[in-house]
Structure 1
Amino acid sequence: MLKVDYWKRDEITMNINTWLKKYSLLIWVLFVCFITLYVKVELKRNEEKLTEGHFWVFTDSHVDVLYRHDGDPSTRCRNVSLNNMIKKNRKFGHFDCDTPNELLISTLSAAKKIDSNIDFIIWLGDATSHLSQSDDTILSVNENFSQELRKHFPKTLVIPVLGNHDVILKANRSTRFIQFYKETKYNLLLNDDNALPTFLKGGYYSIRFRTLINKRQTFLRFIALNTAMFQPQYMDYFDSNEPNEQIMWFNKTMFDAHNLNDRVLLLAHVPFGINENLLYKFYHIKYEQRLLSIINKYSSNIIMCLSAHRHQDLFRVYSSLNTTMGIIGHPSISPIGYLSQPSIRKYSYDRKSLILTDYEQYSFNVHEAERTQKDVWTFSYRFSSWYHQSKELTSKNLFQLIYLIRAKPFYLKRFLLTKHYTENIILTNHRIVQTLCALTLFNFDEFLSCTRKLEKKGVQYDNIAFNNSLENNSHVNEQLIEYRIIYRHADRDGSITPADFEILADKLSTLVGQDDVHRREDYANARKTLCQEIMRADANLDGKVTLEEWLNFHENLANELRKPDTDPEVLEHISQRINTTFNMLDLNHDGFIAIDEWIKTCQFFGVDEKTAEKSFYQITKQDKLEEDKAKQLFFEYLKTDDPNHISNCCLCFL
């Protein structure tokens, strides 16, 4: 048996040797092929790692140097209310207020922790508060921003853009940007010799950047516009030649980029197009038309336009004949207005082709931070996953996505959710139609025609309600700033509906403070806050308030207020309504309502100037109405059924 076993073993060995000799060449070839394939795969992986780059986009921090951790939100967190018995520490901000410096530091720290190995940072502007600022405050806040950004990212290339709240309006026009550059330590952010001449002249510039060491690689060119020059409300603060010179510079810069085959990221704090909710254009039409005509000529060089200003997560596409340019908006660091949670965004792009491939968004839960006193940033969503996109983030693919948003409910709801998720709002069919038309239409007549056609055809979208989905139960009684709800019967269809306030919103925004854009914005925002109370009269929840519902609501309210044991919840709502009304008129928070503010408000609601002035002096013998007296008057107006009561003289705005 042993001999047989040994013989078999030898036979097997001989067979193996014979087989190896016969197929050795084939084995060697297969081995070489395998090694070659493995090396190629690894090289490709390494190349992909080398060619995939990342960059951060931050915008609209709106730091308020007067912010107080214990401040009353009804005063933009600037003053402590004596009536506020609940002392809350809002160290990291509140939705009724601009940003504390702690939130800015938290933002930059979070970005550094998430990813500090990035190619560059784009800062889209508006470092200072929405409230009226002196030039000194604007300069000091921007200086602080420059230092904080450099402290967290000491060696990263920064591409800064000026926002409308960054421009020092009262400075010498010929030297204002030189002063800004020197006194804000902007050299920490921008020190490119080719960019400085035009920045020091007008706050705009261009930088060429090589993303790879390869000398043959196409340059990425950043073009940063100073869009404040094109906004109608800022035209008086610039010489007429300044926006024209910037447009001529933009044309020449795009011409150079085209000849050099540069790929362009166009950076604009204020976006092109229409505010579809308040029905106005962001740019003066004569400037926008010229800018878009330049974009028409050189759109093939433009990767994307990145914008800010609206504090919302949205995008749109400009298209004309052979032109397609995506415009991606960005949510803000500032939480004010419930337009978004404080957010930052990290883009991925191909360093070789310079095409954007995706982005990730991170956000900060303001309510949770107030509850825990901790600053925790979390991942929100990834563009490709959220919208089920497998392709790159190009203008053409964005245009295709807009088609899906218009055609399929799944994409529409996802788009609206990212835009409105922190608001307390019911999106009606009319509002949704407006949003869809504004995604691609920049001409006002075309936009209005689109909304009329869709509504005439009977296109219907289900109403979508947003109720501050990220708000904790412990904060349900916090006063909400309602940016997108409607007040008063403007279209005279017999009821108050969301459409009515959209008609009036633009007029309201220019009613008070014609010479002060910040004051005008504050007035409009405070005015819209009251609309939440107006729609409480909608008894059958059909989205409109009839005259009968309105009268019944206030009759029941007056009866409740006359009770000795008035429901505390009712008193809470009335307190919010009264505080908002007072702050609407007392925008500078000096503790009284001036007679000119009173008269302008009364005039808007149909009271002539003499009657308004007479009513004011019936209430007070002075030229100002103190806060306590005003609020007591507002309360009596809602409570009394006496037609001869003094409060009935001129409180129609309440």
Structure 2
Amino acid sequence: MSCHRLLGLVALDLALGVATLEQGQFWHITDHHFDPTYWSEMRSCNDKVPVRGIYGDYWCDSPWRLVNDSVAAMANVKRDVDFILWTGDNVAHIKNQFLNQSLNLEITEKITDALKAEFPGVPVYGIMGNHDWFPANQFPVQQAFLYNATAELWRDWIGDNQQIENFKKGGFYTIRTTKGLRIVGLNTVFYYAADKLTTNLTDPAGQFAWLEEVLQNATNVGEKVMLTAHVPPGIKVPGKVQWFYERFNTKFLDLVQKYADIIPGMYFGHDHADGLKLLLKKDGTPGIPMFIAPSVTPWRYKSGTESDDPHNPAVRLVKYDQKTGEALDFIQYYMNLTESNEANASSWKVAYDASKAYQVKDLSAASVSMAVKQMSKDKYVLDKYIRFNTVLANGNTTVNECDATCRAEYICSFTHHEGEKFNSCVTGLMKGVLIG
């Protein structure tokens, strides 16, 4: 072998080594909804006859055993991650009369301690969910006990005193990773239609102005920004629910769309279901992928005769580029709740590998756009997405029950995030008879 070729191979090996070092991993976890009354009053259970298993029930929020087991399972799979995104809703679906500020804080503290015990030295970028406040959903726009107490609880992770003050002002902050990636934790509960304290406001706690300043500063210095929050914008399907107030939905989407070139991804919870969406740029080209992680809690919504489909507990491991923040892949782990309860032992399995499931090389905006187009054209690929939506809890049942209108709604929700545009998309697809 010639000296030049040998040097070339060495250079190639070094280049590959550098590329490998730039690939990191992080966990995305959300919606634990720990119910301390699961073994007593069962206050989160919304069915009269739940089957009370040791890891929970599809009609109830999480017993501690499920919450703790999910954290231990994460550590067993991958403990040495770069960080953890924790997108809130730690407190169960329990009526306000049975909760208070101190109890809510204790629940968040208990999960915080579990994460610190299993992941020593790993930074956790947490954000509050709508159920973490007392009373639920009603986030104020000035300093309050739960802002202050949670900021101090997470001081080791947030670090910077200025960001601690931002959190105390409204539950939002920003931090830079050691690799130069900027993380922005937002309080999107301000924009949630259930928060009656922000109904008549234009910029609750000044978060929009703050976010634009952060994004503009990042643009000026060449930083990439990963956004994380609890409540997602856009339209949730099935159900056709828009969580945000209309004006906040539009304002948020317009703002992040303006800075799409520096935002490689946005990460949300709240839906309890597995979701993938794409925010397009003004010119219609791929903009920002939106990753909505499924919940740890198996709790199902129920009102009268209507209810959500059952879904399994889940945690997500994301592979990403440490410098650009671009998602390269993620592996969705889940617990088959029925099997684990019957065996009296948990079994966390891989539900799917995103890049393989959607046949894309990574999870960049361009690749997610390709995946969305595949789901729009190929019934088989869309069927997989619908199964993943409930974390494999229903086999083919949900897919078989999804008619042409249901499929049109799924397809339109991928890229149409405002009510009027979403409805027009669904109408157009139905008239075209392109799916079914």
Q: Assess same fold via TM > 0.5.
A: yes
Q: Answer whether contact 2:315 2:334 (CA < 8 A) is retained.
A: yes
Alignment of 1:270 with 2:231, yes or no, is yes
Alignment of 1:146 with 2:142, yes or no, is no
Task: Read off the aligned partner of 1:175 and give its amino acid letter.
Answer: A
Distance in 2, matches of 1:63 and 1:242, equals 31
* Cα deviations by residue, 1:530-563 (Å, 9 ceiling, x for unpaired): xxxxxxxxxxxxxxxxxxxxxxxxxxxxxxxxxx
Task: Read off the aligned partner of 1:162 and give its amino acid letter.
Answer: M
Q: Answer whether contact 2:192 2:243 (CA < 8 A) is retained.
A: yes
Q: Answer whether contact 1:345 1:362 (CA < 8 A) is retained.
A: yes
1:199-238 maps to which residues of 2 (within 5 A)?
199-211=167-179, 219-236=180-197
Task: Read off the aligned partner of 1:118 and give its amino acid letter.
Answer: V
* Cα deviations by residue, 1:397-440 (Å, 9 ceiling, x for unpaired): 21221111101223212212211432454111111111111111
Task: Read off the aligned partner of 1:181 and give its amino acid letter.
Answer: T
Distance in 1, matches of 2:148 and 2:328, equals 39
SS at match of 2:194: helix
Distance in 1, matches of 2:134 and 2:169, equals 14
Q: Answer whether contact 1:97 1:335 (CA < 8 A) is retained.
A: yes
Alignment of 1:180 with 2:149, yes or no, is yes
The aligned length equals 415
1:417-456 maps to which residues of 2 (within 5 A)?
417-420=387-390, 421-423=392-394, 425=398, 426-456=401-431
Compared CA separation, residues 234 and 77, structure 1 to 2 (3 A): closer
- Greater percentage in helix: 1
Quote how far apart the aligned CAs of 1:35 are.
3.7
Distance in 2, matches of 1:243 and 1:296, equals 20
Compared CA separation, residues 76 and 297, structure 1 to 2 (3 A): closer
Paired position in structure 2 for 1:364: 335
Distance in 2, matches of 1:122 and 1:171, equals 21
Distance in 2, matches of 1:364 and 1:268, equals 24
Alignment of 1:198 with 2:169, yes or no, is no
Task: Read off the aligned partner of 2:428 and give its amino acid letter.
Answer: K
Paired position in structure 2 for 1:307: 268
Distance in 1, matches of 2:413 and 2:82, equals 33
Compared CA separation, residues 60 and 444, structure 1 to 2 (3 A): same
Taking structure 1 as the reference length, the TM-score comes to 0.60
Paired position in structure 2 for 1:546: none
Distance in 2, matches of 1:440 and 1:241, equals 25
Taking structure 2 as the reference length, the TM-score comes to 0.88
Q: Answer whether contact 2:264 2:326 (CA < 8 A) is retained.
A: yes
Q: Answer whether contact 2:44 2:92 (CA < 8 A) is retained.
A: no
Quote how far apart the aligned CAs of 1:341 are.
1.3
Paired position in structure 1 for 2:325: 354
* Cα deviations by residue, 1:360-400 (Å, 9 ceiling, x for unpaired): 1111111111111001212221111111112x211122122
Paired position in structure 2 for 1:135: 101
Q: Bigger radius of gyration, 1 or 2?
A: 1
Compared CA separation, residues 58 and 171, structure 1 to 2 (3 A): closer
Distance in 1, matches of 2:358 and 2:46, equals 40
Compared CA separation, residues 280 and 314, structure 1 to 2 (3 A): closer
Quote how far apart the aligned CAs of 1:339 are.
4.5
Distance in 2, matches of 1:237 and 1:66, equals 31
Distance in 1, matches of 2:432 and 2:240, equals 22
Task: Read off the aligned partner of 1:437 and give its amino acid letter.
Answer: C
Alignment of 1:258 with 2:227, yes or no, is no
Compared CA separation, residues 120 and 137, structure 1 to 2 (3 A): same
* Identical amino acids, percent of aligned pairs: 23
1:516-535 maps to which residues of 2 (within 5 A)?
none
Q: Answer whether contact 1:205 1:223 (CA < 8 A) is retained.
A: yes
Distance in 1, matches of 2:355 and 2:74, equals 21
* Cα deviations by residue, 1:322-375 (Å, 9 ceiling, x for unpaired): 461211111111111254311111111122443221111111111111111001
Task: Read off the aligned partner of 1:231 and give its amino acid letter.
Answer: Y
Quote how far apart the aligned CAs of 1:186 are.
2.7
Which of 346, 349, 353 is matched with 1:378 structurally?
Answer: 349
Which of 387, 393, 397 is matched with 2:367 structurally?
Answer: 397
Distance in 2, matches of 1:178 and 1:197, equals 10
Quote how far apart the aligned CAs of 1:194 are.
3.6
Distance in 2, matches of 1:354 and 1:138, equals 32
Q: Answer whether contact 2:409 2:426 (CA < 8 A) is retained.
A: yes
Task: Read off the aligned partner of 2:145 and give its amino acid letter.
Answer: R
Q: Answer whether contact 1:177 1:201 (CA < 8 A) is retained.
A: no
Q: Answer whether contact 2:407 2:435 (CA < 8 A) is retained.
A: no
For structure 1, which segment, 243-252 or 418-427, has the greater mean C-alpha deviation from structure 2 after superposition? 418-427
Paired position in structure 1 for 2:22: 51
SS at match of 1:232: coil
Quote how far apart the aligned CAs of 1:182 are.
6.1
Q: Answer whether contact 1:274 1:444 (CA < 8 A) is retained.
A: yes
Quote how far apart the aligned CAs of 1:71 are.
7.7
Which of 207, 219, 237 is matched with 1:246 structurally?
Answer: 207
SS at match of 1:266: strand
Task: Name structure 1 gaps, 5 residues minimum.
Answer: 1-29, 212-218, 462-654
Q: Answer whether contact 2:412 2:422 (CA < 8 A) is retained.
A: yes
Task: Read off the aligned partner of 1:296 and give its amino acid letter.
Answer: Q
Distance in 1, matches of 2:122 and 2:253, equals 32
Quote how far apart the aligned CAs of 1:34 are.
5.1
Task: Name structure 2 gaps, 5 residues minimum.
Answer: 301-308
SS at match of 1:336: coil
Q: Answer whether contact 1:275 1:281 (CA < 8 A) is retained.
A: yes
Which of 378, 381, 396 is matched with 1:408 structurally?
Answer: 378
Paired position in structure 2 for 1:101: 64
* Cα deviations by residue, 1:213-268 (Å, 9 ceiling, x for unpaired): xxxxxx21111110111011112378837616111111111111111111011112
Paired position in structure 2 for 1:60: 31
Compared CA separation, residues 290 and 112, structure 1 to 2 (3 A): same
Compared CA separation, residues 328 and 136, structure 1 to 2 (3 A): same
SS at match of 1:96: coil
Distance in 2, matches of 1:446 and 1:48, equals 41
Task: Read off the aligned partner of 1:307 and give its amino acid letter.
Answer: F
Which of 50, 54, 61 is matched with 1:91 structurally?
Answer: 54
1:553-632 maps to which residues of 2 (within 5 A)?
none
Q: Answer whether contact 2:147 2:170 (CA < 8 A) is retained.
A: no
> Could you say which structure has the greater relative contact order, defined with CA pairs below 8 angstroms and 6 or more residues apart?
2
**RMSD of aligned residue pairs (Cα, Å):** 2.6
Q: Answer whether contact 2:35 2:44 (CA < 8 A) is retained.
A: no
For structure 1, which segment, 256-265 or 447-456, has the greater mean C-alpha deviation from structure 2 after superposition? 447-456
